[in-house]
A and B are shown apart, each in its own frame.
Chain A
């Protein structure tokens, strides 16, 4: 590696929208023949700091230098610097400090290949080890041994609920003989989450390898990757990766000369958040309306076409090759007692550094948001951090020292969710945040069960009253009791979790709701607006 000179240019959608394609062209033009000899220019996946795109990494004998926000006009200088010339002052202005906590505190496991492999080249991926663990599993390990390794790793579902992955694989594997299916949930619908998108766009072969290992471990021969239609580049790269994998014989019949066969297809969603719920997703793959059904039976018992179906999230499958390579114990040595390994978070909102961070479980929110994220731009204070999307909640600033793991976040009334972390500064009004999520839930409710279909509408209109400062004190009680009803009686996890953003903001920012009740002249006329003194309003 030491004498290769390489410019890695991010080609994932974040940097693309910031002009990375034009930059890549300019780099290639500027490079000309030099490229063939001692300098290579490679499009790669996510280099993490999406907010500063387009990003370019320059690898040389003296290590790696990262640049952000590079305009195409600087391509010549960048190529010259990569070839060994002195860095110009204007280029130096685009340098990003690799010692910054944003980069230094990352621990790449799932994102190992993101930013290193060319997402459109299976040869490059294989040169960096892709499908090596699949080969080893097929040739050296029994399905039971593979599952044992995953169990030892302590890996839990990265889609949000945190079900132990090894246990799920065992459940599917131990069903009565017959066909089994494999599904990858890439319907990343939580606003504020873009981890899965980055993996699909940056390192699709690692995901496919993880899926193939899982298929071997549970005995499935057909699989689907269900990607949301809002991610066109991810779909394109996934389809290309599948075609290349078939061409290389790492998917299809007789993989690595064994009797194992696996075919995988991409299925594209059509804009329904509820399809991220597993039973709805399965119906959508079968060409139907995505409406959740009651569990049990769980998909592991009865899934696609009533056959046992293993369904895991993108990040879960993508963690598998590294777990097999380094061993389950290695993975389990990272993280906390109940939450092992690393987790990828998508950091956005009122924070200086936006992008992807992968850190060991148990890292505190403060480390992620303030140290790595660099805090609120303009030096303001963090008011809250929203995790878990519309099913999660807002964690207030005074609880930022909480370690990030499944249980701690749940205790705070939020949840891990898929890993979106939206930072809110002091100007963000919490009742407005709650209404934002409730409107989302109104839009996305599938309509099957009444508590969610009608309850979210009622909750949204109650929240309107707080946002528009025409609520009466009784509305607070109404809000809390309706939240309880929707939570207790909705059919699926999405409905049950829809009140979470309201409940968590009520819990930590009750004062903002109370303040919204205090303009007597604007109260609804039909209700007597009793303006309580400060103390009396509390029960």
Chain B
């Protein structure tokens, strides 16, 4: 495909470019790949978030220029949807499901346990500097409730009634036992 060769061509001088410049070029590519179409805004924002881990203001400005949209519109969309982050995320993230099945099976107790274990407040994006815990409304894994996602990995059927076993399961996800403030 022609885009493939162009990408490879663009990468050659990249070694001498700053990280910011590389990110800028990648965002331009994303905009081009989506045909510069305004209706692709959400798709573009997803891909930009993959590049940066969140949506910094400069990136939103660049997307607005690329798609020929007012910044207000781009920012409006970015701030409307829950999955778009406007602040840099912590290095590790945990999402605890508070859907109805998880609620019935002790999801709230699980969230409280995580707050205590990590020394964070639920839904505080800053977390303890290293880890943050957010709630999600439903992961569609209701048959295995209660569930959570640690750095992208789903953990299911967490034993709320057995704190020791619960901690062992959480240890296995790589989650530290005590708050690790920086």
Q: Interface on A for B, CB 8 Å cutoff?
A: 13-14, 17-18, 50-51, 53, 188-194, 197, 229-231, 267-273, 284-290, 346-350, 354-355, 386, 389, 420, 422-425, 428, 433, 436-437, 440, 443-444, 446
* Residues of chain B in range 68-114 having any CB-CB distance to chain A below 8 Å: 73, 76-77, 80-84, 98-105
- Complex Cα distance, B138 from A346, in Å, reads 13
Which chain B residue lies CB-closest to A229? B83
Pick the residue among A273, A422, A425 that contacts B142 (CB under 8 A): A422
* Residues of chain B in range 37-82 having any CB-CB distance to chain A below 8 Å: 37-43, 45-46, 73, 76-77, 80-82
B175 within 8 A of A: no
- Complex Cα distance, B51 from A393, in Å, reads 42
Chain A residues within 8 Å of B76, by CB: 289
A268 contacts B42, C-beta separation under 8 Å: yes
Chain A residues within 8 Å of B40, by CB: 287
A287 contacts B144, C-beta separation under 8 Å: no
22 pairs of residues in contact across A and B, judged by CB atoms under 8 Å: A50-B144, A191-B103, A193-B140, A229-B83, A231-B140, A267-B42, A270-B81, A270-B82, A271-B83, A272-B80, A273-B137, A284-B42, A285-B39, A287-B37, A287-B38, A349-B104, A350-B105, A354-B142, A420-B142, A422-B100, A433-B100, A436-B100
Which chain A residue lies CB-closest to B104? A349
Q: A50-B144, A229-B83 are in contact. List 16 more A-B contacts (CB 8 A).
A: A14-B143, A50-B143, A191-B142, A193-B138, A197-B140, A270-B45, A270-B83, A271-B84, A272-B80, A287-B40, A287-B41, A349-B105, A349-B142, A350-B104, A354-B101, A422-B104
Known: A14-B143, A193-B138, A268-B46. Contact between A286 and B81, CB under 8 A?
no
- Complex Cα distance, B171 from A451, in Å, reads 44
- Complex Cα distance, B41 from A309, in Å, reads 21
Give, as a whole number of angstroms, the nearest-CB distance from B115 to chain A: 16
A192 contacts B77, C-beta separation under 8 Å: no
Chain A residues within 8 Å of B98, by CB: 191, 436
B77 contacts A230, C-beta separation under 8 Å: no
Chain A residues within 8 Å of B143, by CB: 14, 50-51, 53, 194, 346-348, 354-355
B101 contacts A349, C-beta separation under 8 Å: yes
B136 within 8 A of A: yes
Which chain B residue lies CB-closest to A423? B104
Q: Interface on B for A, CB 8 Å cutoff?
A: 37-43, 45-46, 73, 76-77, 80-84, 98-105, 136-145, 147, 154-156
Give, as a whole number of angstroms, the nearest-CB distance from B34 to chain A: 10
Which chain A residue lies CB-closest to B99? A191
- Complex Cα distance, B142 from A420, in Å, reads 9
Give, as a whole number of angstroms, the nearest-CB distance from A235 to chain B: 11
Chain A residues within 8 Å of B73, by CB: 288
Which chain A residue lies CB-closest to B69? A287
Chain A residues within 8 Å of B147, by CB: 17
Known: A268-B42, A287-B41. Contact between A346 and B100, CB under 8 A?
no
Lowest 4 A-B CB distances belong to which pairs? A50-B143, A191-B99, A270-B81, A287-B41
B141 contacts A13, C-beta separation under 8 Å: yes
A192 contacts B42, C-beta separation under 8 Å: no
Chain A residues within 8 Å of B139, by CB: 230
Pick the residue among A188, A267, A290 that contacts B140 (CB under 8 A): A188
Chain B residues within 8 Å of A284, by CB: 42
Chain B residues within 8 Å of A269, by CB: 42, 81
